[in-house]
Amino acid sequence: MPWKIDDLDTPSVLIDLDRVEANLRRAQDYADAHGLRLRPHIKTHKIPDLARRQVELGAIGITCQKLGEAEAMADGGIRDILLTFNLLGRAKLQRLVALARRVRLSVTLDNAVVASELDAAMREAGLVLPVLIECDTGGERCGVQTPEEAVELARLVAALKGVRLEGLMTYPARGQTEVTAAWLGEAVAGLKAAGIEPGVVSTGGTPDLYRAHEVTVATEHRPGTYIYHDRDQARASLGLEACAMSILATVVSRPTDGRAILDAGSKTFSSDSLGLDGFGLITEYPQAVLAKFSEEHGHVDCSASNARPRIGERVTIIPNHACAVSNLHDVVYGVRGNRVERVFKVEARGRVQ
């Protein structure tokens, strides 16, 4: 493909392939150095080619959040998938059985209803599904609330024939590594006291990725955003130099001296601000503020910027939340310098079920 970035129309999502490679290697090297296994969460990119690259570099498999994502990744050649979601209902369980016949599949659960449904579906299919108990170590989403509840649910799972306890899983609260470590340490001790070998202890998240080894009982980590980074993650670690995703946009209007309007809004970026000032960093005009989105327009306040863009000028913007951007686009462009080297179809986009 002889394209240059200049040949792309706007808005387009650019992925810096060198930065992706550096981000993946950095994390894998870290995990290897600490004896941790890496199981990247593909929610950030949703692209089988990139998932395969993660595995090539040493990841033991991948993590998916939705069954439809896992199916897309299996279609793309991934052979080991952890699905970190409570799965319920006949339609999903039928698909789960079909997927379990194709790949090495494991699933999380946090309650007896899900355990019972999984067990029944797998027994009927003559399969045994590895499951992990989801633990709410402070993230306040899903998960059993205490180490004691984790042990209790593990005992329940251990008594079933269609599922097999593989270990514990948490999506931890950001910046709470000590709390996560204490919670999981207690749960592991409780399991051992109950005669249950915990096996896998899986933690997640990019913000505290490079502290994952401090959770001493952890055996694997599931970072997602680390592949692209974004303006939110740049606050936590590594800075903007690690950001591999950017949005190419055009200034289409300059209604006032202090206002510029881009051809990219919330339907290109999402409305995820993640508490940051502005919705993205305009790399050519770092003092300008991407202050507001309409659905298809970005409102730039350039009153504090000495340099101001002209109508027709193109700018590149590092988004606040890379995962949300991937979820809006059918394709993204893999670039090196000014060359467009790859067009990636975002295969798992929109697989909400």
- State the residues that interact with a second copy by CB under 8 A: 9-12, 43, 65-66, 85-89, 91-92, 110-111, 113-114, 117, 136, 140-145, 250, 252-256, 259, 261, 263-264, 266-268, 270-272, 294-297, 299, 311-312, 323-324, 327-330, 350, 352-353
Q: Which of residues 88 and 128 has its CB atom nearest to a second copy in the complex?
A: 88
Asked if 217 and 188 count as a contact pair (C-beta separation under 8 A), the reply is yes
- Number of neighbouring beta carbons within 10 Å of residue 158: 14
Tell me 289's DSSP state: E
CB of 110 to a second copy, least distance (A): 5
Q: What is the DSSP letter of 144?
A: B
**Which is nearer to a second copy, 108 or 177 (by Cβ)?**
108
CB nearer to a second copy: pick between 246 and 327: 327
Which structure tokens are listed for 250?
């055009």
Cα atoms found within 13 Å of the Cα of residue 86, Cβ hemisphere only: 15
Q: Which residues pair with 142 in a beta bridge?
A: none
Shortest distance, CB of residue 64 to a second copy, whole angstroms? Answer: 10
From the CB of 33, what's the least distance to a second copy, in Å?
30
Which of 214, 296 has the CB closer to a second copy?
296
**Cβ distance to a second copy smaller for residue 7 or 56:** 7
Separation of first and last alpha carbons in the chain = 34
Give me the least distance between CB of 89 and a second copy, in Å please: 7
CA atoms of 262 and 248, how far apart (whole Å): 10
Nearer to a second copy, 265 or 334 (CB): 265
Spatial CB neighbours of 146, under 8 Å, sequence gap ≥ 6: none
Name which of 58, 16, 40, 54 is nearest 344 in CA terms: 16
Minimum distance from residue 197 beta carbon to a second copy (Å): 25
Q: Please spell the DSSP secondary structure of 209-267, one letter per residue.
A: GGGGGGSTT--EEE-SGGGT--HHHHHHTT-GGG--EEEEEEEEEEEETTEEEES--HH
Smallest distance from a second copy to CB 112, Å: 9
Residue type, 50: L
Q: Residue 339 pairs with which residues in a beta bridge?
A: 4, 336
Min. distance of Cβ 127 from a second copy in angstroms?
21
Per-residue DSSP letter, 175: T
Nearer to a second copy, 23 or 86 (CB): 86
**Cis ω before 40 (30° cut-off from 0):** no
Nearer to a second copy, 36 or 139 (CB): 139
State which residue, 30 or 171, has the beta carbon closest to a second copy. Answer: 171
Which residue is it, tokens 């079909």? 98
Smallest separation (angstroms) from a second copy to the CB of 296: 5
Among all chains, which residue has been given the structure tokens 């649910």?
153
CB 149, min distance to a second copy, A: 10
How many residues are recorded in the chain? 353
